[in-house]
Amino acid sequence: MSRLITRLYPRAWRERYGTELSDLIDETGMSGRVAFDVARGASQEWTSQARLALAGGGSMVIGPAWRHPTAWAVVGAVVLLPTVLFIALSALAISNPFGDQFTSQRYLDLALLLAPALAALLAALPLVRVSYTPADGGPVATLSVRLRAVNMVVVITGLGITCLLVGHVLFESVLRLGA
């Protein structure tokens, strides 16, 4: 857990202090307060790195998930799974795949509605990386985009289900208004 949370920091900082920080967290013990403190420290390091890059003092790369695309695709798929199961089971059980369950439990509905979009986002995250490098002719910002089959499957599925669900909700709303 301590190693995982240190991944919030910029890579250069992590390579220098990550192991020491992780060991200190192990020694002091993980808690909500410690997690918040580390997250705040990480945000300060990112801000500091961005300020340095904007001032021409160094380059900055933002691509937090770039090195582990498959892991992020798997996380996205896990987030997506409950919604897929819900849709599949609902479709098998009743003629209206969303039925009354979809309108009776608001928080569950919302979670199932947002999960595919979140899954698409998580799987898409490793496909994009932004770098900002100071140069003699002015700073150069580079956007790198790559396509990976595993991630794209989750992204397309997530976005497809999101569109389907949003369309369904809108359709239901229109029907309710008309009734």
Partner 1 sequence: MTDIQTTTDPGLLLLISLASGAKHGHAMLLDVERFAGVRLGPGTLYGALSRLETTGQVEALPAEGRRRPYRLTGAGKIALEQRLAGLSRAVSTGIARVSA
Residue with token string 């380059």:
59
Q: Which residue from 16, 51, 67, 146 is in contact with partner 1, where contact means CB under 8 A?
A: 16
CB nearer to partner 1: give 44 or 105. 44
Residue 70 contacts residue 150 (beta carbons within 8 Å):
yes
**Residues from 19 through 78 that contact partner 1 (CB under 8 A):** 19-21, 23-25, 27-28, 33-34, 36-42, 44-45
**C-alpha to C-alpha distance for 179 and 9, rounded to whole angstroms:** 54
Contacts with partner 1: how many residues (CB under 8 A)? 22
CA angle 146, 124, 37 (to 5 degrees): 120
CB of 11 to partner 1, least distance (A): 14
- Contact region with partner 1 (CB under 8 A), list: 18-26, 77-85, 93-101, 125-133: 18-26
Q: According to the binding rule CB under 8 A, does residue 174 interact with partner 1?
A: no
CB nearer to partner 1: give 24 or 88. 24
CB nearer to partner 1: give 60 or 79. 60
Q: Which residues contact partner 1 by CB under 8 A? A: 13, 16-17, 19-21, 23-25, 27-28, 33-34, 36-42, 44-45
